[in-house]
Amino acid sequence: MKDREIIVENLVKSYPSKVKAVDGINFRVDEGKIFGFLGPNGAGKSTTIKILTTLAFPSSGHATVGGFDVVSQATEVRRVAGVALQDVGIDPLMKSMELLVLQGRLFGASKSAATARAKELLELVQLSDSVNRRAGTFSGGMRRRLDLAMALVHQPKVLFLDEPTTGLDPVSRRDVWREVRRLNRELGITIFLTTQYLEEADELADTVAIIVAGKIAAEGSPAKLKAAMGEESINLVFDTPELAEKGRSTLEQTGDRVQLDRETVRLYLSKAAGSIPTVVNQLQNAGLAPVSLTLTQPTLDDVFLQVTGQRLVAADAAQSKSSRSNRRVEVN
């Protein structure tokens, strides 16, 4: 029995309204890995985390965290799992130190041990200067950090982070990423994180699962998922959609497939860089001159589009990749 594993088998959660929030999912998170659970709002991410952290029962199926069953061994699961839910759960009238000491004591630590641990954690999340401030006066980023510290009080072996960076500014987001990576690398904590951000999953996760409408649509390492997409692409921008259409028909036989999106032609092929001379020659022969030519590696965004047929609309303007195209894409 490995004490840092998460195993999920045929997990189903249905609500009285007959809605299946989670519909028969299976996955496994190996010891010391970071698992990214990716999906749009309402896809079943939070429900899954609630089941795995003992806040909700599954309707059917089976799951273990650190070798303990989430239904029959809930107390043991609570001891090995640290949890930071999407809505930061802190009493704003309490001071950060008080909250951490109480949390530690509820996990069974003595007063002195809980106090020592609290000091250590406040230093870790860089809140040592705010020990005697009420949590209600904290900024969003500080509250997240305090919440993370509370999740770490009992030295969990598995850490659940539900959308840890939603609503954070890009700088705070990078801080959280660095911290997550460090907890994983230095302490060997297995991390299960849900996110709406492709970039986040790409950046952090060893394995990514894409959940759509309660079902897992794709799973694998980011590299593998992207590789499955096939290829890199050469992107050509023309002056007008008409010229782009000519470009598309010219290059139809060159790549594995060609996409036309207004003035842009995307040519997917396995060795894009090496094919540039050929592409340029063909265009010249056809009398076409693109305004720009760029090379793109496949992104998780592409994977997402492929498996779900829709773009993941991120609530964040910093997500340049997803804002790239909400326009209609014509797949050839």
Q: What residues line the site for other proteins (CB under 8 A)?
A: 53-57, 75, 78-79, 81, 83, 85, 87-94, 98, 102-110, 113-114, 117, 120, 123-126, 134, 150, 152, 154-155, 175, 178-179, 182, 186-189
Nearest to 313 by CA among 10, 19, 9, 43: 43
Q: Smallest distance, Å, CB 241 to other proteins? A: 48
Minimum CB–partner distance for residue 163 and other proteins (Å): 13
Q: Which CB atom, from 67 or from 107, has the smaller least distance to other proteins?
A: 107
Nearer to other proteins, 175 or 232 (CB): 175
Closer of 38 and 125 to other proteins (Cβ): 125
Quote the CA–CA distance of 109 and 104 in Å, as a whole number.
6
Residues 315, 88: Cα–Cα separation, whole Å: 19
Minimum CB separation of residue 271 from other proteins in Å reads: 40
Q: Is 208 helix (H, G, I), strand (E, B) or coil?
A: strand
- CB of residue 153 vs other proteins: minimum separation in angstroms? 8
Residues 6+ apart with CB under 8 A from 78: 53, 54
Provide the sign of the torsion angle of the four alpha carbons 166, 168, 174, 176, taken in this order.
Answer: negative
The residue (of 180 and 229) whose beta carbon lies closer to other proteins is: 180
Strands 330-331 and 257-261: antiparallel
* Alpha-carbon span 113 to 150, nearest angstrom: 15
C-beta closer to other proteins: residue 113 or 286? 113
254's tokens = 């060159």
d(C-alpha 199, C-alpha 16), whole Å: 35
CB of 277 to other proteins, least distance (A): 47
Distance, in Å, from the CA atom of 142 to the CA atom of 160, rounded to the nearest integer, reads: 18
Residue 188 or 241: the one with the smaller Cβ distance to other proteins is 188
Cβ nearer to other proteins, comparing 107 with 230: 107
**Considering beta carbons, is residue 38 or 63 the nearer one to other proteins?**
63
**Closest distance of CB 38 from other proteins, Å:** 23
Task: Tell me the helix, strand and coil percentages in the chain, rounded to 5.
Answer: 40, 25, 35
CB of 206 to other proteins, least distance (A): 19
Residue ranges in the chain assigned as alpha helix (H): 45-52, 74-80, 96-106, 111-124, 140-152, 170-187, 198-204, 222-228, 241-251, 272-285, 300-308, 320-323
* Cβ 285 to other proteins shortest distance, Å: 56
